[in-house]
Amino acid sequence: MKKLFPIVMLMVCSAGFAQRGGNLYLKTFPGNMGAIYSTNISQVGGLTFTYRTPSDTNNMVYYIENFKPEDIKVFQDKIKLYSSMLCLPGYKSKIGDFIYSFTSENEILYFYHKADRPRREQN
């Protein structure tokens, strides 16, 4: 009985830890594959928004052309982004575009198009 208790506790604790890591739900958005982006998303593969909740994949994706610091205002618990436009299918970002979406926890996920990758000359 003494050996059984630590084994059961280990199983219960490890199951809780595995659930906290959770699944990631991806929403891939067509982007400019020749772009270099700054982002706050830890796992990046092109323009892919990673959410922790499956319903968040229904959230809209927006962008701001020629993003400037004045386009964003932070209040106590809210963020207001000005000049936002809805990203439609086929949208290709340009240098200076800020592409973003929100999660159900009011976190912002974003990509900022910093530059284009230099093209290699073919010999």
pLDDT per residue as tens digits for the range 38-58: 888 876 667 888 888 888 888
> Across the strands, what pairs with 36?
115
Residue at 4 is within a domain: no
Q: Quote the number of domains for the chain.
A: 1
Residue at 50 is within a domain: yes
The CA dihedral of 47, 55, 63, 44, to the nearest 10 degrees, is: -20
Among 82, 93, 85, which Cα is nearest to 62's? Answer: 85
Q: How far apart are CA 61 and CA 68, in angstroms?
A: 18
Domain extent at residue 103? 23-116
pLDDT of residue 83: 86
Average confidence (pLDDT) over 62-87: 83
pLDDT of residue 15: 42
Among 67, 55, 65, which Cα is nearest to 92's? Answer: 65
Residue at 86 is within a domain: yes
Residue at 14 is within a domain: no
pLDDT of residue 96: 92
pLDDT of residue 2: 54
Residue at 103 is within a domain: yes
Length of the chain: 123
Q: Is the pLDDT of residue 92 over 70?
A: yes
Residue at 15 is within a domain: no
Residue 90 vs residue 95, higher pLDDT: 95
Q: Is the pLDDT of residue 25 over 80?
A: yes
Check: CB of residue 101 under 8 Å from CB of residue 63. Answer: no
Is the sign of the CA dihedral 37, 62, 74, 106 positive or negative?
A: negative
Categorize the per-residue pLDDT at 120 as very low, low, confident or very high, splitting at 50, 70 and 90: low
Categorize the per-residue pLDDT at 13 as very low, low, confident or very high, splitting at 50, 70 and 90: very low
Residue at 8 is within a domain: no
